[in-house]
Amino acid sequence: MSIEVKMPALSPTMTEGNLAKWLVKEGDTVKAGDILAEVETDKAIMEFETVDGGVIAKILVPEGSENVAVGQVIAVMAEAGEDVAKVAEAALSEESQPALKVEKAEDAPEAKPASEILSIDDSLAKAISNAGYGKKADAVSVPDQGKIGRIKASPLAKRLAKKNDVDLKNITGSGPHGRIVKADIEAFIAHAASSPCAAAPEIQSNITHDTPHQSIKLSNMRRVIARRLTESKQNIPHIYLTVDVQMDALLKLRSELNEALASKNIKVSVNDMLIKAQALALQATPSVNAAFDGDQMLQFSQADISVAVSVEGGLITPILKNADTKSLSALSVEMKELIARAREGRLQPQEYQGGTSSISNMGMYGIKQFNAVINPPQASILAIGSGEKRPCVVDNAVTVATIATVTGSFDHRVIDGADAAAFMSAFKHLVEKPLGILAQ
């Protein structure tokens, strides 16, 4: 039986991707674990491994193709003993059939298109189709349609679907032989959160302007940024708290540390020290190291800091895991490696997905103060302004100090103002008395 190779969901937010490069050609024999292609997701260029062995009979989507939907068949493999030429011919024949061909499960009645079963709003049908779960009408089935054969899904996928009230009949799996896996459920949930049936209709381009201009197509990354930040501002009630932090002691300590680390070719940045201070402040105020999750809240036991990094075409947030337990030198080395891979588009999903809180530093651009948008599903983010010389009162005397304005954005559904204030106070204390950063 031939094996369909489908566009995988390589991140929870991915509903489509660009097929950047095929690393195999028709006629090649591959085994489980071999790399088939490079796929450009909304965050990075990632390698796509096969979970089955066989012979590449036909490549249906050429390299360089953009906006390939998750779940779309991109190639067909022949299993051992199969006639490769016949598999390729059958794949081409099926590809030429109308898009709304219904797959029939063994011994199951033929499913009718959803539009014949129930009157469904066109926008809903379009949203589900755009989610990338195949071009077959059974991907738009409804709960009352009845069971159509046995649905193949991993135990983890079934548990995740049950927890989020996801009907498995609405999903085409990207695993072996169409098996539904965890990534398929996560991608479906991420898409549903922004689909027309769950939110306002997608804004279509309708701007007319007399001023000469050019239209620039949004990249996958920019589209995801636009969707996620809109989701954040629409769904998360932000509360903002701002403090002025004296930086002189931290800057002096940084200079001394870098002198001591010069022989190891390690240079600690101000941002490295602020990340460590944030992680320690989260551990000091565990009620802030949390996330909203429907009818419950998640309280995290470790501080994983997502760091906003500007890359070509957008923004990505590599994660420093267990930032509170790492030395400044180790944290600095890891951060530099993550930034380098982020700008090359080579981060792995586990290096930018997750995190318990974020930090965004625009001090290097001379920005005095700003309010950052929370990165869902997180519940907090720190916005760091530039350090500048300002007059201030120290011991009842006016003096000049290097001061930075820091603003915290918090999800008010799970973080109360008093808890957020305690976190900001802890952060300020650690920055102004930075030996506490080294002591932990």
Active site residues: 412
Q: In degrees, to the nearest 5, what angle opens at C-alpha 435 toward C-alphas 364 and 279?
A: 60
| Contact indicator for 291, 377 with CB cutoff of 8 Å | yes
Q: In degrees, to the nearest 5, what angle opens at C-alpha 312 toward C-alphas 307 and 316?
A: 25
| Contact indicator for 291, 356 with CB cutoff of 8 Å | yes
The secondary structure of 76-129 as a DSSP string is EEEPTTS-HHHHHHHHHHHHTS-TTPPP--TT-PPPPPHHHHS---HHHHHHHH
136: its two tokens = 């077959």
**Helix ranges restricted to H, 109-204:** 114-117, 122-130, 155-163, 182-194
Strands 35-40 and 305-307: unpaired
DSSP 180: B
| Contact indicator for 39, 108 with CB cutoff of 8 Å | no
Strands 357-361 and 305-307: parallel
Spatial distance between the Cα atoms of 23 and 27, rounded to a whole number of angstroms: 12
Nearest to 87 by CA among 99, 98, 75, 96: 75
Spatial distance between the Cα atoms of 141 and 322, rounded to a whole number of angstroms: 43
Q: In degrees, to the nearest 5, what angle opens at C-alpha 299 toward C-alphas 288 and 292?
A: 80
| Contact indicator for 79, 48 with CB cutoff of 8 Å | no
